Amino acid sequence: MKENEDKHLDNFTKKIIKKAASESPSIYFTSEIMAQVTALNNSSATVYKPLISKKVWVLIALSFVVLCAYLILGTETEKVSWFSTLDFSALSNNNFTNVLSGFTMSKTLMYAIVFFGLMFCIQIPFLKNHFDKRFEV
């Protein structure tokens, strides 16, 4: 019974398909589609904005020039500079350097740390290259 229904449906479908005329696109179909694609690509162009604008770069450069000019011109005209008044004794007289001054490291540990650092620095480019290739399409 099911086969009879399927044959009837198959015959009906074949009749409908034969009666329906094949539609063909217009002569300019391809050129119209390509014009739309080109217009779509041109309209959605990505505009890149820099992280630091030109105004900020100008401000940074200007402040750097002013600082350099002050250091060069200001220290020659004045006999006592502000840099000589700074007290750096706090850097050398602290408890942290005193604690670490008694610390000794064996040669084996030092070689292990240097070797680990060297291998770490060598592996980074290889891993970066591996992951870059993996995510390429």
88-105 per-position pLDDT tens digit: 776 777 676 667 777 788
- CA 51 from chain center: how many Å? 12
CA distances from 60 to 44, 48, 55, 74, 110 (A): 33, 22, 9, 20, 42
Within a domain: 80: no
Within a domain: 19: yes
Task: Give 15-63 as a DSSP string.
Answer: HHHHHSPPP---TTHHHHHHHHHHHHHHHTPPPP--SS-HHHHHHHHHH
Within a domain: 32: yes
Within a domain: 36: yes
Q: Per the structure, how many domains does the chain have?
A: 2
Within a domain: 83: no
pLDDT at residue 119 tops 70: yes
Model pTM? 0.29
Domain around 39: 2-43
Within a domain: 26: yes
Contact 75, 81 (CB under 8 A): yes
pLDDT at residue 109 tops 90: yes
Within a domain: 55: no
pLDDT at residue 54 tops 90: yes
